[in-house]
A = this chain, B = another copy of it.
Amino acid sequence: MRRCLLAASLALSIGAAHADEGMWLPLQLPDIAAQLRKAGYEGDPAQLADLAKPPMNAVVKVGGATGAFVSPQGLVLTNHHVAFGVIQYNSKPDRDLIGQGFVAGDRAAELPANPDYRVLVTTGFDRVTDRVLTAARGKTGRAYYDAVEAATKAIVGECEQDAGYRCSVADMHYGTDFYRIKQLELRDIRLVYAPPDAIGNYGDEIDNFMWPRHSGDFTLLRAYVGRDGKPADFSPNNVPYVPPAHLEVSTQHVNAGDFAMLAGYPGTTFRNRTAPEFAQQVQWQLPARVELFGKLIETIEAAAAKDEDAKVRYAAQLASLKNGLKRAQGELDGLRRSNAVDARAKDEAAMLAWLAKQPGSQATLADIRAAQAVLEQARATRERDQLLGVLRSQTQLMRAALTLQRLALEKGKPDAQRESGYQQRDEALITGQLKQVQRRFAPEVEKAVLAELLAQHRALPAAQRVPEIEAVFGATAESARAALDALYAKTALGDEAKRLAWMATTPADVAASDDPLLKAAAALMPALLRVEGEAKTRDGELLRLRPAYMKALIAHRTSQGRAVYPDANSTLRVSYGTLTGLEPRDAVVYRPLTTVQGIVEKHTGEAPFNAPAPLLAEIAEGSFGNTADPKLDTQTVDFMTNLDTTGGNSGSPVLDARGKLIGINFDSNWEAVSASWWFDPRYKRAIHVDARYMRWLMDEVYPAHHLLREMGLPVE
C-alpha cells in the first residue's frame, strides 16, 4: 500500500478538478486536459507542459515576481510595482521618472536597471526526489533535516557550475517530491516604458485589494545579453536577448464569461495543511496575531505620544503592524466566512476513513499520527515562540545586540557551515540593518515594547517561560523595569559608530564586551539557539512524516477523480478560469470590467488619485479607437477573473482561450485575502490590467508607437 500511495502521488494526479481552483504545475496540464478544454481553452494542453518550451518559457521571473517576453527582441512585460525599483533607480532630481513616467524613444535611450535586478528564464525542471532523499532515509528529526539540506546544497552547487545559471530545488507536497529548477540569469535589464505612477499606481494603498481598481500597473523592460548571446553585466555593447519564445498581445475584445488563463510564480499557500493546522490558524494564530499586534500598536503609540521625534521614527513600524493586523483580521474574517476549518476537517476525516479501509495502510496512518504529534508538540510552546519572534522583529537595539552576538558565534565556523543569514555574503546586509536602527529607534519606545513583551512572558504558563529571560529581567514588573532602565541607560549601542564598530571586531571581542545590552543578548542567546534547534528538529520530522499525509490525500482525491496541485512554493504555476464579477456581500455586485469613467470619478488632484492631465484630457476627448470596448462603448482599464493567485503572481500574463495576452495580473480583492489557506470560489478573484488600456496608453496618451509595432500591435 505504501508504494501504491507513492505511485499515485508521483503522477501528480489525473481527473477533473474543483471548479476553477488550482495553481497547476505545467506538467499536470495534460492530465487535466479535458477540464481545461471544457473550460474553454482552445490550444493543446500538452504544449503547456514543458517549462523549457513555448509558451511557458516566455513566462519569466522578474524582480521576485512574474513577467513575460512580449517581443522577439527581449521586451519583458511586468507590473509597474514590480519594476518600481528600476524606475526609482533611474529617477533623479531633474528626471522624475516616477512622477513623469518614461518612454525610451529608441534602444539607445533605454536605461539600465539597478545592477542586482534580474530576469530569470527557466531552462530546466527535473525531478531529483531520490537524490534529495537518499541520505535522509532512515534518519529522523534534525538529522533528516540536515541530510535534505546538504543534498539540496550539493545539487544546487553542481548545477550552478554552469555559468550564467541560477539553480534551486523546489519541495513539492511538503517533502514528497523535489524538483531541480535551472534558470538562465539575465542581468542586463533596461527600462523601456513606464507610465507615470499616478497611472501605474493609481489609488495606491487606498485602492490596494479594493475593487473596482483603475490602475495601469504595467511597465516594459528589455533584457540584454553579451554579443555571444550569454548573460552579461551591463555594457553598452550588449545586444537585446532573443528569447526562446514570446507571448502575443491580443487585439481582440474581452467580455464577462470569457475563458482566461494565467501563468506565474505564486509564493506560498497552505491549502494542503492538516485540519488541526487549519483550526490552529483560525482559533489561535490569527486572533493571537491580531491581539499581539493591537497591543504593540497601543504600546508604541502611547510611548511615542508626547515625543514628535519618536512618532516619526516609529511611523514605518506602526504602519507595518497596522497592515499586518488588518491582513490577519481580513484572513480571519475570510476563513470564518468560508467555514474553512469545518470544511477542511470534514475533508480530512473522509480521507482518513477512506485510508483506514485501504489494505496495508497501517504504516501510512502511523506516520500521519506521528506528524500530528509533532504539530501538537509545537502547539505546546506556540505562545513562547511567538513572543521570542517578536522580541527580535519588533525591537531595534535589542535586535542589533542579538544579531551581533549571533554573528560572532557564526563567525567561529567555516563560512559554508554558518547559519543562513550570517554568512560572509550577508554581512553587508547586516551592516545596513545596523545603520537603519538610527532612523527607527527611540529608547523610551523600545523599553515600553520590551516591558509589554516581558509582561506577556511572565503571564505564560511556567512550562513555557524561558529561564534565560528571567535571569536577565527577573520575574516581576519592577525587576523588568529596573533592568530595562539600566540596560538602555548604559548601553553604547545607541551610538551608530560604536554599534557598527562591532562588525569589525573578533568574536572574542564581542564575547568579552562590557556593553550591558550585548551582555544581555549573550545571556539570551542559549535560549534562542535552543528554541531554534527544537524547531529544526520538528521541521526535520515533518519533512519525513508529511509525505504520508500528502500521499494519502492525493490518493483519496484521485479515487474521487480529482487532481491535486502542490501548495504554492514560488515555482511556475498555471491557473485557468473565467472573466467574472463578484458579489462581495449582500446587495452589492461588482462588474468585472472597469472603465476610464472610474478614473475621473476617483480623481481628486491629490495622490494617489491625481490622474495626469494628458490622461484626463484624452478621456475627456473620448477618442479610444480600436481599444474601446464595443459593448461598454468606452475605454476599459482593469478586469477581474476568478483565477487562482497569491503573492508572487504580480506581473503574471493573463491569456485568452487561444493563448493571446489579454491582461497582466497585479492585485486581488480583499474578500480573497484568506485564499492562501482556502480557495472559496464565491470570493476569490484576481485583478488585471486590461491589455487594451495598455495599448491605448501607448498609442494615444504617452505614445510609443515603435514599441507597439515591435509587439506586432496596430497603431491608430
Interface of A toward B, CB cutoff 8 Å: 211-212, 214, 305-306, 337, 585-595, 597-598, 601
Contacts and interface: CB of A to CB of B under 8 A. Distances in A.
A551 to B, nearest CB: 38
Contact of A588 (B214, B305, B337, B588): B588
Nearest to A595: B586
Contacts of A595: 586-587
Contact of A587 (B305, B585, B587, B593): B593
Given A587-B592, A587-B598, 15 more contacts: A212-B587, A212-B588, A305-B305, A337-B601, A585-B601, A586-B594, A586-B595, A586-B597, A586-B601, A587-B591, A587-B594, A588-B590, A588-B591, A589-B590, A589-B591
Contacts of A590: 587-589
A233 B505 CA distance: 91
A597 B593 CA distance: 26
A597 B337 CA distance: 12
A587 B586 CA distance: 16
Contacts of A306: 306
A212 B585 contact: yes
Contacts of A211: 587
Contacts of A601: 337, 585-586
A594 B588 CA distance: 9
Nearest to A583: B591
A219 B591 CA distance: 37
A585 B594 CA distance: 10
Contacts of A585: 212, 598, 601
B337 A586 contact: no
A115 B640 CA distance: 58
Contacts of A598: 585-587
24 contacts: A211-B587, A212-B585, A212-B586, A212-B587, A212-B588, A214-B586, A305-B305, A306-B306, A337-B601, A585-B598, A585-B601, A586-B594, A586-B595, A586-B597, A586-B598, A586-B601, A587-B590, A587-B593, A587-B594, A587-B595, A588-B588, A588-B589, A589-B589, A589-B590
Interface of A is mostly: mixed
A303 B664 CA distance: 49
A86 B645 CA distance: 54
A337 B598 CA distance: 12
A30 B585 CA distance: 42
Taken together, the copies of this chain in the complex come to 2
A139 B202 CA distance: 60
Most chain B CB neighbours (cut-off 10 Å) among A306, A588, A593: A588
Contacts of A592: 587
Contacts of A214: 586
A585 B597 CA distance: 9
CB-based closest 4 A-B pairs: A586-B598, A212-B587, A589-B589, A587-B591
A408 to B, nearest CB: 44
A588 B211 CA distance: 9
Most chain B CB neighbours (cut-off 10 Å) among A212, A214, A587, A594: A587
A59 to B, nearest CB: 28
A149 B601 CA distance: 46
A432 B38 CA distance: 75
A671 to B, nearest CB: 11
A593 B589 CA distance: 12
A467 to B, nearest CB: 40
Nearest to A598: B586
A586 B589 CA distance: 11
Nearest to A600: B586
Contacts of A591: 587-589
Contacts of A597: 586
Contacts of A586: 212, 214, 594-595, 597-598, 601
A52 to B, nearest CB: 39
A413 B591 CA distance: 67
Nearest to A601: B585
Contacts of A337: 601
A650 B30 CA distance: 62
Nearest to A597: B586
A276 to B, nearest CB: 25
Contacts of A212: 585-588
A170 B197 CA distance: 56
A598 B598 CA distance: 26
A337 B600 CA distance: 10
A588 B588 CA distance: 7
A589 B585 CA distance: 11
Most chain B CB neighbours (cut-off 10 Å) among A214, A589, A592, A595: A589
A601 B595 CA distance: 29
A598 B589 CA distance: 13
A261 to B, nearest CB: 23
A512 B347 CA distance: 86
A534 to B, nearest CB: 37
A591 B588 CA distance: 6
A593 B601 CA distance: 25
A637 to B, nearest CB: 8
Contacts of A593: 587
A587 B256 CA distance: 12
A211 B586 CA distance: 10
A219 to B, nearest CB: 24
Nearest to A214: B586
